[in-house]
Amino acid sequence: MNLRDINGLVDGTADAAYALDPHGKIIAWNNSAADLFGLGKDAVMGRQCSEITHGVDECGRECSENCAILKCAAEHHPLKNYDIKVKGPSGEKWCNASVVILDSSAYDQPCTLHILRPADVQKRLELLIKDFVVSETSLPAVNLQEIMTRDNSPSSVSDLTGRERQVLRLLSDGKKTAEIAETLFISKTTANNHVQHILKKLGAHTRLEAIRRAEQAGLLR
C-alpha cells in the first residue's frame, strides 16, 4: 500500500480519521478529523500525533512519542478499540478509537490508521457510575479493582519487560529501591533504572502514579 492508497482510505472514512507513519507523525487527515480537532490538513501534516490530539487514556496516561500503540503495530499485534479523551476547539471530548495496521511500501515498518467516533456522553456517564460505585458501596477491594480495570486502554499494552513487571509488583507492595534490589539480587542502581523505565513507559511522574495507572490497566494481576 502506498501513501496515495492510505490517503484514499482516510478520505473515504466518514468518521474522524487520520494515519500515522511508524514514528507517530501524521501522513493523512480527513475533513471529519479537521472538524473534531479544529485543525486543517495543512496544519497537522508531518507533526507528531500527540501534539495534535493531546490524548489521555482511561488510566490517565498521556499520548507521547513513547506510544504503546505504535509498538504493537510494529510487531503486527492487533489492538482492540479503546476510549481516549482528546482536545478540540470546544474542549475535551471522549472518543472511541479503532486502529488498523497498514503495511506501506513507503516505510520499513507498518503505518496505522486511527478512526475516532464520539463517545463523550456515554463515557462520562460510565465514569460517573464507576465513581459512585467506588464511593458509595462496600464492595470488597477485589471487586472494586475489577470494576476499575480498563483492559482496553492503551496503558494495558505497555511494553514492560518481565523484570520491570517484577519491580512494579514490588513497588505496589510498598517496597523501596533498596528492598527491591535485595529481593531481586540486583544493585540499587539497576533497581532504580528499572523504576525509571517503568515511569517512562506508563507516562507517570511518580511511583504512586505508576502503581495506580498499572492497577487501572490490569498490569498487576
Q: What is the pLDDT of residue 15?
A: 95
User: SS3 for 219?
Assistant: coil
Q: Measuring CA to CA, how many Å separate 146 from each of 127, 130, 159, 174, 217?
A: 14, 11, 22, 21, 10
Does domain 3-119 fall into CATH 3.20.20.70?
A: no
Q: Which residues pair with 120 in a beta bridge?
A: none
Q: Which residues pair with 28 in a beta bridge?
A: 19
Q: What is the pLDDT of residue 69?
A: 87
Q: Are 103 and 1 in contact (CB under 8 A)?
A: yes
Residue spans per domain, the chain: 3-119, 124-216
Q: d(Cα 181, Cα 201) in Å, to the nearest integer?
A: 20
Q: d(Cα 204, Cα 187) in Å, to the nearest integer?
A: 23
DSSP annotation string for 53-119:
H--EETTSPBP-SS-HHHHHHHTT-----EEEEEEETTEEEEEEEEEEEE--TT-SS-EEEEEEEE-
Segments in 105-184 forming alpha helices (H): 120-136, 141-148, 162-172, 177-184
User: SS3 for 18?
Assistant: strand
Q: Which residues pair with 98 in a beta bridge?
A: 115
Amino acid at 60: G
Q: What is the pLDDT of residue 54?
A: 93
In the CATH scheme, what architecture does the domain 124-216 have?
Answer: Orthogonal Bundle (1.10)
Q: Are 220 and 168 in contact (CB under 8 A)?
A: yes
Per residue of the chain (221 residues), give pLDDT as tens.
Answer: 899 999 999 999 999 999 999 999 999 999 999 999 999 999 999 999 999 999 998 888 888 877 888 888 888 888 888 889 999 998 999 999 999 999 988 899 999 999 999 887 676 677 677 666 666 666 655 455 555 556 666 766 677 888 988 999 899 888 999 999 999 999 999 999 999 988 888 888 888 888 888 877 777 76
